[in-house]
Each structure stands twice: as C-alpha cells, then as structure tokens.
Structure 1
C-alpha cells in the first residue's frame, strides 16, 4: 500500500530550512530521535508550509508560516499547536503535537512539529491505483462529511474548550474581518468586491445558527485516509483557523472548494480535491445531507455559499499579494489574481439568483 501514501518531494526554491538547527532543537525535546533527518516538502502549501523530517526510525511533520508578507492575524503556528493539543482528547483524528518553538529560538518564525499520520490524502486526484466504484466514492464522501459533523457535535464546554472562541456574533465578526483583510491585500489588478461585501453585510443573519467547534478549512485534502481501507478517515489536518463559531459558516467554507462534475471550465481548473468523481455528492446534496444529520435549517443556504466564495477569494488574494510584491517565488501563485477576479464574478452570479 506504500504507493498510495501521500509523499513529499524536494523543497521548493526559496523555502529551504536550516535542518541542522532544527535537528538540534528536536533532539533536545525528543532525545530518542536517531540519525540525521532528510528534509522534504509536501505539495500544496499555498498558505502554511508543511515539511517532512524523515528520521531513521520515525517521520515527523514540521509546520511553519509562509515566507513574505503575512496578514497580522494569520499563520499563528503556536495557536494551531495549542488547539490541536486541546482537541486531541475529544477528537482523536487530530495529530499529536510533539514540539513547538517561538520565533528566533530556532528560526525567525514560530513553528511546531507533529506526528505523521501515514495515509492517503485526497488531493486534486486520487492515486491512480485506487479504483473506487461510484458507490464507494459516495460512501467516502459521506464519511468525510460525517467527520465535520462529528467535530460540530463535540461538547466544547465539557471538553474545557470555551476559551477558543469569542462567543456570539461570529457571523458579523467574519464578514467584518474578511472585508478588512481583502481591502488590505488588494492589488491594482483585481476587482473591488464592493457589491459582494455590501450584499453580505446587508444579508447576514441577525444571529448565529449555533456555536460549536469549527475547523474553518475542512476539505478532502485536509483529511487522511487509511491506506488499508481507503473509505476510512483516520486523520484531519490543518487546524490553523479552528475556533468556536457558526457551523453553517464552516460548511459554506467547505463548499467554496467543492468543484462538481458539471461546473464550468474555470472552476474545473481550480479544483484541488476529487469532488468531481462519479458518486460524489453535489454541493446541494451535501447541504441537504448536513441538514438532515444535524437538524439545522438549510433551506436557503445562499448567504453561506457566497460568504464561502468571498472568503476563498480573500485567502487567494492574500497569497497573490505576496507573489505580486515578489515576496514569494512560487510560480503556482501567478494565476491567483485571475482566480480572485473569477470568484468575484461567481459571487455576483450567485447574488443575482439569490432569493434573499
């Protein structure tokens, strides 16, 4: 099954690390480590960067912020490590955090190191040797959504996690926050999103549907599948933006990435997960399934869908800002400005057809 495992590759130019200093630090925290580690980097990394530290007897994962300009409130590695440590006892799919470091202790930024959960990460396409039938694909899809629902149903008060959020008013904080982030990261070659932001402010619900633990970036390429049973989810990754908030906002974020088989060509080019496969639920089917399982009212999901697309555009623009200003040399970011403009038009199309 090794051919199905998610694999790292060479470190991208400009994103190298001082492996000697990292090794010294880790051995001071984990004395059982043996030998010199091999440093590689995982695909993705449009936001935080993920590296493999392959020791003779175990594999570790290092997470650090991107190089270049960063939004003030983004890429808080120590917060992510803290959240993961707090969640692990009540949500076992979280990897164990093994060490963390403040900026200037080892490198010029905060970072943390966690265990590696070896498995399949469903990125843009499933491994070629993994031949799932439409029925199996549908079950995999449901199993992934169920892990989000399971997170939303954790009793965060009983688990002592009330400190992770700011209480009621989550929806308004998100609309105000993402609006501010977009305005600060806007470059001259992208649209203003003025009509989209105005619509979201006018149509936001007067109160949150509920307050629960939310992931805020729950996607197929943030889950790990059991290589011996690829329909089973054994890990959930990337907890940087996890907090207490409205569960329908979390679902809206997830569906912004959900490219289905009948989407237009531009959406297909943006696809980063295998949601186009025969058997996968459509976005509307996901909404309906989620509503049935949770009991939340999802009859008119327009606000949450448009919010998810706007938020995705802001994230893409923050990344593009770094590329535009020469702070990142990752060539895959060159087209992000065009993606942002496309997402503005997609939002406006959804708004034109909305009944809200």
Structure 2
C-alpha cells in the first residue's frame, strides 16, 4: 500500500459504461474527452456510501462520483447537491475541489453523477500506508490539521460562499434527532438492538441553542486528502450531506469516528482510522482545541457525543440492511451489524457517565 491513494480494478457489479460516459462528455464536457478512444476508468477502494471512480483522460485525472447500487435513501446520495456545494465553496474555502460537470441523465451510466478534479495525495484509512512513518509529534500535528480545517469550514462566511439557501438552520437539532431516530427504526434488522432508550435520551436532551455554520456532515480522516508525508491537508472530499446547521453537531459526528488507545477492545476493533497511535490527541483534547479554534461554548458535550455515535450506527445500519436484503453483495458490509451493536454500547456508556 503506497501513500498515494490508488485506484484499482472495478468491483464486480459496479462497472461504468466507458463508451456511454465518453459519448456524454463529448457533448457536454469536451475537455474531458480523449483525442481518441474512450475515457479509462478505475475504482477507488474506499467508501461505503457513494462510489468513487478515477477517470484518466490523455494524462489528466478526474474523479467521478455516483450513488451506490441498490440504495433507497436518495437524500444521502444527492449528486446535484454535492456538485452545487463544491461550485459555491470552491474559491472561498481552500479545501473544496473544483467541480467539472454534473449529469442528471441516469441513462448514461445508470445513475446521476458528477465529475471533479482529482486531488492527488494521501488518504488515511484504517491504518497508515506502508511507506508512511508517523512520529508521535507527527500524529499530533495530523490531529491539529484535521481539526483546524474543520474549524475553518465552520467559520467560513456563509454569504461569501453564496450558501445562505443551502439549509434550514432553525430547528436543525430537533430535525436531526427526529430524522435519525426514524431512519434507524426503518433500517433495523432483527440482529441489532432496538436502541429505544438511546433515542429517548437524545430526544429529551436537545439543547436550547442556535448556531449556524456551513457543515460537512461527514468530516473524518478518510474524507480528507493529505500531502504525501501527512503534514498538510490539501482537500476535503464527499460533500453530499453538506448544509447549514449546528457546527457542534458536525464536530460530534466527526468524534464518533475517533477511537483512542484506552477505549474498550470492541470499540478499538471497529476503528476506521489509526487514531489510537502514540501522539494522537484524545477526544477531550480534540474538543478543547475545537473550542479554542471556533470560540464555541459547548455545555452539553455528552449529547453531541451520543448523537454522533448513534447517527453513525444508523448510517451503518442502513448499509447493512442493503447487504442483508441482497441489494449489495459487497462483503465489506457483512460485519456492519456487529459495528452497530458496538456503537450502541458506546452510546450507553457515554450516557451512564454523563
């Protein structure tokens, strides 16, 4: 595994018709069309939500994003929204990739899609790439970079970005609790917990605060692109759920992915990044730096922690249900039910300690 995120052969059942894509781009985005032949397509290995492909065109590289096969949750895979966010943020937020084209004609490749520039760098997934050595001091800097880039988004001027109409911040927290509780119930399979007590606890603890910022809604390690030695973030990916809302909710969702070295073994077993390494900041240290970077007062941190964990459980459960029902055969999703159970346990742990 090298530091640069590598595209691979396309997974079975997730192919794109290169001829049809080339023909569409020839009519709508001539800059993407090769002088001869067709666009070359490979697939990036990560991602359990939208699918991501590498397009190679006469030596240039682009990225195509499309919804997953078999998804019934259209709001979580809104290509037009993601393209619109990038179109507005690119130029005012240094980490937003440049969008190139958006296609709503599902007959072209079987789904709506958009294409953006490729940011060539390192994406950190569960473990560090084999050719990257990260000292404890380097791990600390990585954490600080990750947090500071999120804080920069949360303090970006909404009007300068032209995003005043990209959400309904009033009542945002209430809608999130109601919506994710409903999504979990609708996606639940018999082998995962009901989580009724967790949902009731969240509904009873909604804070009476009004904060509005541009939020990413899925900001985590494998959605940012670092330079090759992990010293600087060069871009942020996966903007399909971006909106206007409470930035602390966004930060709480990010911390749901943050597994540290002293966490219970079942939680460490499902970590999605190398956040347990020496030098990585703890969740409490990340919270303190976030407060300093944004000036936010956070009086009920356990609420935001539990929300982030439960929302992640609901997301994984939606994907797991697709696997259980045979709507996807991707074996990565087979263990997601186990992850849902671990996250529910962590929710209960935070509630007991709050």
Q: Does 1:317 align with 2:317?
A: yes
CA contact (8 A) 1:255 1:308 kept: yes
Q: Distance in 2 between matches of 1:93 and 1:207?
A: 28
1:216-266 C-alpha deviation (Å, 9 max, x unpaired): 111111111122x53111110000111101111011000000111222222
The corresponding residue for 1:20 is: 19
Deviates more, 1:104-113 or 1:78-87: 104-113
The 1:8/1:335 distance shift into structure 2, 3 A limit, reads: same
Pairs within 5 Å for 1:96-245: 96-208=98-210, 210-227=211-228, 230-245=230-245
Q: Distance in 1 between matches of 2:79 and 2:57?
A: 23
Q: Distance in 1 between matches of 2:104 and 2:300?
A: 44
Is there any run of 5+ residues in structure 2 with no aligned partner, and where?
none
The corresponding residue for 1:265 is: 265
TM-score of the two chains, using structure 2 as the length reference: 0.95
SS in 2 for 1:162: coil
Q: Distance in 2 between matches of 1:72 and 1:309?
A: 22
Which of 82, 90, 112 aligns to 1:80? It is 82
Shift of 1:92: 2.2
SS in 2 for 1:164: coil
SS in 2 for 1:311: helix
Q: Distance in 1 between matches of 2:290 and 2:59?
A: 41
Q: Distance in 2 between matches of 1:30 and 1:218?
A: 30
**Structural RMSD (CA):** 1.5
The corresponding residue for 1:57 is: 59
The corresponding residue for 2:30 is: 31
- When the two structures are aligned, how many residues end up with a matched partner? 351
TM-score of the two chains, using structure 1 as the length reference: 0.95
Q: Distance in 2 between matches of 1:18 and 1:248?
A: 41
CA contact (8 A) 1:287 1:298 kept: no
Deviates more, 1:113-122 or 1:345-354: 345-354
Deviates more, 1:77-86 or 1:259-268: 259-268
Shift of 1:3: 4.1
Q: Distance in 1 between matches of 2:30 and 2:159?
A: 36
